[in-house]
Amino acid sequence: MTHKNSDFVSRLNKFNSGYCAEVPSVALSRQFTESLVHALFPIREKCAIEEDEIAIELERCSVRLRELLYSIRDSLARTPSEIADDFFSRLPEAFEQLAEDAGAVVKFDPAASCVEEVITCYPGFYSIIVYRVAHILYDLKVPLLPRIMTEYAHEKTGIDINPGAKIESPFFIDHGTGIVIGETARIGREVRIYQGVTLGALTVERSMANTKRHPTIEDHVVIYAGSTILGGDTVIGHHTVVGGNTWITESILPHSVVYRNHRVVVKDRKDFDMPIDFQI
């Protein structure tokens, strides 16, 4: 078998030898993500959590981050310690944003009984936690690690938020499965997004890597399920409601309502002469 596949083995070796970027351990990256989420929101069976416990959890996160950064140190513009210190200096601001995000869920979703339910049960909130901490590392120009973190959240929740997106708080994702938010998307305050929404690019070309490819969503916008908004020049004005299953590639003025102008017909079954047993 080895003899028969020698050419293939050589091809594999040649291909993989050509890609030598330093990559942090995926397993350790996931451990760091989970430990950081747990440190920020340590929901447990007991209500009283000691400050020392939280401090120890954060210190463990710090050790894990330094370990990850050290593994890709040749790809960093600064030392792992400098970047880690900078990360943790920005973490309190990210936490305050997350506290607002959790509060927005309780405010807008009648199914949310308390913040504890949001933290433990809402995949949208989990994806936002991971996005906000990964975005700090993205801003610090750490390669690959922020994307590994958000792709881990994507795998767990079905929500794909690129760490480069800029999202203000509070931000509310309801249900969330199938949401895609591109790298250069901009989202303002008190925006609500439902499942299946795409904030994407009109075209995908390598030459556009350093340009704004994804839309801007201003404050107090609601985007209902299945809507697609594309293009870096597309701006959805503040206080706009975007109805479900809409396709938008042009800017929308503030205080607008956008919806598909289709008609749902209801007829009595005895007058309906089309087949009922549809085959799909």
- The predicted structure's pLDDT at residue 190: 97
Pairwise CA distance, residues 139 & 175, whole Å: 28
- The predicted structure's pLDDT at residue 2: 55
Structure confidence by residue, pLDDT tens digits, 205-259: 777 778 999 999 999 999 999 999 999 999 999 999 999 999 999 999 999 999 9
What integer is the mean pLDDT of 2-11? 79
- The predicted structure's pLDDT at residue 280: 42
Q: What is the three-state SS of the chain?
A: CCCCCHHHHHHHHHHHHCCCCCCCCHHHHHHHHHHHHHHHCCCCCCCCCCHHHHHHHHHHHHHHHHHHHHHCHHHCCCCHHHHHHHHHHHHHHHHHHHHHHHHHHHHHCCCCCCHHHHHHHCHHHHHHHHHHHHHHHHHCCCCCHHHHHHHHHHHHHCCEECCCCEECCCEEEECCCCCEECCCCEECCCEEEECCCEEECCCCCHHHCCCCCCCEECCCCEECCCCEEECCCCEECCCCEECCCCEECCCECCCCEECCCCCCCCCCHHHCCCCCCCCC
pLDDT score of 276 more than 80: no
Confidence of residue 73 (pLDDT cuts 50, 70, 90): very high
Structure confidence by residue, pLDDT tens digits, 103-124: 999 999 999 999 999 999 999 9
What integer is the mean pLDDT of 139-152? 98
pLDDT score of 148 more than 60: yes
For the chain, which domains are there? 22-158 (1.10.3130.10), 178-280 (2.160.10.10)
**Predicted TM-score (pTM) above 0.85:** yes
What integer is the mean pLDDT of 173-179? 96
Tokens of 232: 């870096």
